[in-house]
Each structure stands twice: as structure tokens, then as C-alpha cells.
Chains A and B, each alone.
Chain A
Amino acid sequence: MSDEERTGPAAGGEPAFSPAGLTARDIHLSFGRTKVLRGVDLDVPPGGTACLIGPSGSGKSTFLRTINRLLEPDRGDILLDGVSVLDGDPDALRRQIGMVFQQFNLFPHMSVLRNLTLPLRRIRKLSADEAEETARRQLELVGLADKAGARPGSLSGGQQQRVAIARALAMRPRVMLFDEATSALDPELVKGVLGIMSDLSRQGMTMVVVTHEMGFAREVADTVAFLDRGVAVESGPPEQIFDAPRSPRLRRFLSDVL
């Protein structure tokens, strides 16, 4: 890792994170009678980055939510470092998995700082001082130290999303999930958020990234999976997915978005 990368989002005083390997096996999920996921597999080694692409409604968000059990799959298994997570306490699992949403979902009734310190105190059980120190350091790493006292609503979308990333990282997750983290942003703000995400990937975080940013996927992903109608139709390294797509559906999708 080169020198300038030490200023990335997870660098700084805290010891580096310990990324987990993530495996999803044959995930099925229905809402009522609508089958949304019909056997999705994904394998991300520790420190790897997988990008999920696919048309709207194909089940990308749903799949992501099964990984931290915001949704429980009907069938299949999720493994963290080879151990199934479906039997244990979902809250304990979620402590190890950070999630970033399209709409940021910061808590608007608290300051930016408190958005970070509240879960640090309540869930990581840090003291008030430790929580504040950790939170401020994490905010500094996403370039928003000066916004600690602001309400989320007074920040730009890009700043809010960086706070949301800082809030997730402050919990020291071993896996990070991103659900279209830049889709709600004005175009000029996208780059800053993608920059933080690629720094994080380069620093060795295990990441699953749902994105419409094909440039990002090509550059940052180790694996790209194309989801269509609840099935991972094709997956592989970015060069294969983008330069030599095999399935007609993927080819059509790429010609639509590129």
C-alpha cells in the first residue's frame, strides 16, 4: 500500500480492520407470491470487492439485505468466514456488517457527531469520551471534521453520504455493503463518495457494492455479478463481464447503460 493511501477512510489511529470472507449460497426469497431471488450465489474473499449490477427491480437491494438479515432468505445460506450466520443473533451479525444506503438514512434529529457516537456508545459500548474521539477521527477521515455539530439536513447529499460511511466504519465492520450509494447524489458530488469507496476497497475492506457506476465497477471490483430477475446470470472479473459478456441479457443491459 502506497503512502498517500494512509489518508483513506479507515486509516488513522485505530488498528486496521479485519475483513471477513463472505459467501452467499443459493439465496431464495419471495415477497408473498413474488419470487424476487431465485438462487443467488456470491463469494467474496476477505478484503475482496464484489459489484452487483443489473436492471432496476432485479433483486439487488433485496439480496444485499439478506446478507445482514434485514431480510431473511427462504432458502440458502450466508457464511461469514465460512460460518453460517443464519442461526445466530442478527444484531450481533449486523455489528460486523456495515451498510450504506442510497438515501443516506442519517438520523435527522441528531447532530452529525451524535449520529456516530450514539451507536458507538450503545452498541460498541464505548465511553462518552472514547465514542466522541472515535467519531471525530472517523469524520476527519471522510473530510468532515468541521461538520460534527451540524444537523444532517444542512449538509449536501455528498457530505451526508460521507457521514453515513463514517458512521458505518466507526463500528469497525468486517464487511461493508453499499446499496447504490451515489444514485441519489448530484453528479458533481458522486466522485467524492466513489473515491472514499475505492480507497476503502484498496485498504482491504470486504465490500459488496450495488452500483450503476460501471466505471467504478470496472476499476475497483474484483468480481462483478450481473443480477437479472433474481438470478446471478453471469459473474466474473470486470474485464470478462464488461469486455466479453456471454449472456445476451448482460449484453443488452450493458448496451443500455454504457
Chain B
Amino acid sequence: MDVPATLWDSFFDWSSMREALGDMVTTGLPNTLILSITSALIGTVLGLLLAMAGIARRRWLRWPARVYTDIFRGLPAVVTILLIGVGLSQPAMELWGPNPYPLGILALSLIATAYIGEIFRSGIQSVEAGQLEAARALGFSHAAAMALVIIPQGVRRVLPAWVNQLIALIKESSLVYFLGLAAGQRELFRIGQDAAANSGNQSALVLAGLFYLALTVPLTHLVNLVDRRLRHGRRRDGAGTDDGDMLLLTGGPPVPARGEEAR
């Protein structure tokens, strides 16, 4: 048997791929998406809170934020996932039975929180001091100035880095396999690995890789697109557009119309 053909079969054996394809589409892909999207959402929300704590004027808020960031950015992801996923499995078992997803998502979210928090913090701190000054001078409270003026600008500036973090999450979601997954809980990597072990070649893992690329490569290009837009501004300004200068979490409810004249 000649070497190139063997190599080719070990990575691109169509029948092994075809065999794994069904599980990947119906089980692996949805599970990977559940893991990464859920932890992306949680990590973004908590990351914003962490960023705000990190720039708070009160030291007792800043200091824990600093420590948290150092720990969860400093540990290898697999260590965090095992510590949380295995370490907390006893109480978790009582809460929701033998499902590793909640703890896996928790661990992924805590990691994402640390990175996204740093991303948001650097963005928010890059907003010129004059912006806060101008908002305060108009009569906005500190909280309103942050929510309406500072945070939207800061977050916008670091959207490319935030998308990068989503890419990292998609890849890191494969690490929950360390927690032990039942057949229906397997995500892309685990299905690829199982199929590869059965078939004796790596083709199913290559297929899993292609699935990851199908998710991450478009995001990579989205990063570039977002980056370009932020650099060159955009051209879609309508006069009264409300294009998200209110962030979900941070602003109070809009003030209802009252029409009283300040005198």
C-alpha cells in the first residue's frame, strides 16, 4: 500500500465521515451550540458586570474583580472545567441529576466572564474622560452617563475582541467531554473522537474539525467586518435612530413623556 493513499484514507475516508455525519448534525452540532451560546450569553452579561466592578470607584468592588480575573484567566480552561465539573458534581447530582451540562456551562461561563470582562473594561476605560464630563455637565447622573454614553462607546470599540472570545468559547466547549458525556450529550468533538476510534481512522475527527471551522471562520470574518465598520463609521444614520445607545442591563427604564417645562 502506498503511503499517500494511506494518509489520505486516514483523514479523508468518506465512508467513515458519512457514518459520523448523522450524529454530528443531530446531536453534536446542537450540543456544541447550546454549550457555547449559553456560556457566551452568561459570560457577556457577567463580563459587563465584572468590567463595571473593575472600574468602580469603590475599592471593595475593584479588588475582588481583579482577583477573579486573575484566577480565571490564569488557569488552563481544562483545569477550571474539571475543578468545577467534578468538584461540584455531588451537589449538582442532587439538583439536576447526572447531567454534566449545567456545571460545564457554568465553568465555561466563568472563564468567558474573566476574558470578556477584561475586554469590556479596556474598552470602557478607553473612552475619553471628556465624554463622562460632558454627560455629567448636562445633568446626567453617574449611572445614567455610564449606561447611555460611556459603556455603549466602550463596548462598541471592543466588539472585535468580543467576537474573538466567542470563537474561543466554541472551541473550548469541546473540553466538557472531560466531564463524561452520555451518548445524547456528546458535542462535536466527542462524536468525532468516538467515531474515529470505531473506524480506526481520523476522518470523523476531520469532519468534526470542518464543523468547527464552519462555525468559527464566518465569525472571524464577522470580526473583520465589524472592525472595518467601527473604523470607518457607517452610513446608515437616520436622524432619530435609536441604534442601541441604551444597553440592556445598565439603563433604567426610559422616562415616559411628561412634557413639563423646566423653568
Q: How far is the CB of A118 from chain B (nearest CB, A)?
A: 7
- Pair B131/A114 contact, Cβ less than 8 Å: no
8 A Cβ contacts from A74-111 to B: 91-92, 94-95, 97-99, 101, 103, 105-111
- Pair A122/B259 contact, Cβ less than 8 Å: no
* Bound-state Cα–Cα, A118 to B137, Å: 14
Task: Tell me, yes or no, whether B37 is within 8 Å of chain A by CB.
Answer: no
A residues near B, CB below 8 A? Answer: 18, 68, 70, 91-92, 94-95, 97-99, 101, 103, 105-111, 113-114, 117-119, 121-130, 132, 148-151, 153-154, 164, 167-168, 171-172
* Bound-state Cα–Cα, A97 to B240, Å: 26
Say yes or no: A125-B240 contact (C-beta < 8 A), given A70-B133, A94-B138: no
Interface centre among A111, A149, A150 (most CB of B within 10 A): A111
* Residues on the B chain within 8 Å of A127, using CB: 257-259
* Residues on the A chain within 8 Å of B94, using CB: none
- Pair B156/A109 contact, Cβ less than 8 Å: yes
- Pair A105/B240 contact, Cβ less than 8 Å: no
Task: Tell me, yes or no, whether B4 is within 8 Å of chain A by CB.
Answer: no
Stretch from B13-21, B98-106, B144-152, B181-189 contacting the other chain: B144-152
Identity of the chain B residue whose Cβ is nearest the Cβ of A164 in the assembled complex: B134
The 9 nearest A-B residue pairs measured at CB? A127-B257, A105-B134, A149-B239, A99-B137, A95-B139, A105-B130, A123-B139, A94-B139, A119-B138
B residues near A, CB below 8 A? Answer: 128, 130-131, 133-141, 144, 148-149, 152-153, 156, 233, 237-243, 245, 254-255, 257-260, 262-263
A132 contacts which of B130, B139, B156, B240 (Cβ < 8 Å)?
A: B240
Task: Using A91-B140, A107-B131 as known contacts, list a sample of 10 further A-B pairs with CB atoms less than 8 Å apart, ordered by residue number in A.
Answer: A91-B139, A94-B136, A95-B262, A99-B134, A101-B130, A107-B245, A118-B245, A125-B260, A128-B257, A129-B257
* Bound-state Cα–Cα, A98 to B136, Å: 11
- Pair B255/A122 contact, Cβ less than 8 Å: yes
* Residues on the B chain within 8 Å of A125, using CB: 255, 257-260, 262
B241 contacts which of A103, A111, A121, A122 (Cβ < 8 Å)?
A: A111
A113 contacts which of B144, B239, B245 (Cβ < 8 Å)?
A: B239
* Bound-state Cα–Cα, A164 to B242, Å: 20
Identity of the chain A residue whose Cβ is nearest the Cβ of B153 in the assembled complex: A109
- Pair A91/B141 contact, Cβ less than 8 Å: yes
* Bound-state Cα–Cα, A70 to B260, Å: 27
- Pair A122/B140 contact, Cβ less than 8 Å: yes
Q: How far is the CB of A102 from chain B (nearest CB, A)?
A: 9
* Residues on the B chain within 8 Å of A168, using CB: 138
* Bound-state Cα–Cα, A146 to B136, Å: 27
Say yes or no: A122-B144 contact (C-beta < 8 A), given A127-B259, A171-B138: yes
* Bound-state Cα–Cα, A149 to B241, Å: 9
10 example contacts (A-B, Cβ-Cβ < 8 A) are as follows: A94-B138, A101-B133, A111-B239, A113-B240, A114-B242, A118-B148, A123-B140, A124-B262, A126-B257, A127-B257
Q: How far is the CB of B61 from chain A (nearest CB, A)?
A: 22
Identity of the chain B residue whose Cβ is nearest the Cβ of A103 in the assembled complex: B130
Identity of the chain A residue whose Cβ is nearest the Cβ of B252 in the assembled complex: A122
* Residues on the A chain within 8 Å of B148, using CB: 118, 122
* Bound-state Cα–Cα, A49 to B209, Å: 71
- Pair B237/A149 contact, Cβ less than 8 Å: yes
Say yes or no: A70-B137 contact (C-beta < 8 A), given A111-B239, A117-B240: yes
